[in-house]
């Protein structure tokens, strides 16, 4: 796990479109695997299920799929590839993919970014949102790229932030 990460975050309209969550989930798994990692932890929040913290996939995937297939509103799904000895999912991931009602984001170790076909990835993710726009940016993982993606703080708050590319 490297200190520096690269993140692709996209925003747009209809990102919380209910009928495409299952397809997105399967595509997100393929993205993690294409980077050479195992998808092994998940977080989810629906009306019925609020994991609160990440859950081991091997014990909980059926529960997650049932929530997706039930048709109820999904607040977010977070998917991770975490090392066996991780201490904090927020900082120890090799790959993190999150979808909520505001954005979709993929964060990887900086050294793994060259494994991504950027055009293919953006084309894949744009299936789930209209009027896609966003950014590709580099950031220290301890400054939390997910917080930047959520626009909780202004860009000037993040000392290590380097916007690589605007997506429109």
94 in Cβ contact with 37 (< 8 Å): yes
pLDDT digits (tens, 9 = 90+) for 80-96: 999 999 999 999 999 99
- The pLDDT of residue 13 is 84
- The pLDDT of residue 53 is 85
For the segment 29-49, the average pLDDT, to the nearest whole number, is 94
**Residue with token string 């997506």:** 167
| pTM score above 0.75 | yes
Enumerate residues 6+ apart whose C-beta is below 8 A from 45.
51, 74, 75, 76
pLDDT band at 14 (very low <50, low <70, confident <90, very high): confident
pLDDT digits (tens, 9 = 90+) for 123-162: 888 888 888 999 999 999 999 999 999 999 999 999 999 9
Distance CA(135)–CA(149), nearest Å, equals 9
DSSP string, 92-152: H-SEEEEEESS-EEEEEEGGGGGGS-HHHHHHHHGGG-EEEEEEEEEEEGGG-HHHHHTTS
């Amino acid at each position: 796990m490297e200190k520096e990460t690269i993140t692709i975050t996209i925003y747009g309209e209809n990102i919380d479109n209910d009928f495409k969550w299952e397809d997105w989930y399967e595509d997100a798994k393929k993205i993690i695997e294409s980077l050479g990692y195992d998808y092994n932890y998940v977080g989810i929040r629906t009306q019925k299920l609020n994991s609160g913290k990440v859950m081991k996939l091997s014990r909980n995937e059926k529960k997650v799929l049932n929530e997706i297939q039930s048709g109820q509103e999904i607040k977010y799904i977070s998917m991770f590839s975490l090392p066996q000895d991780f201490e904090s999912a927020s900082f120890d991931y090799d790959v993190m993919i999150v979808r909520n009602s505001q954005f979709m984001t993929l964060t990887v170790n900086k050294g793994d970014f060259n494994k991504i076909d950027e055009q293919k990835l953006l084309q894949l993710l744009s299936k789930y949102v209209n009027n896609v726009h966003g950014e590709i940016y580099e950031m220290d993982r301890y400054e939390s790229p997910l917080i930047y993606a959520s626009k909780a703080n202004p860009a000037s708050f993040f000392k290590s932030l380097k916007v690589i590319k605007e997506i429109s």
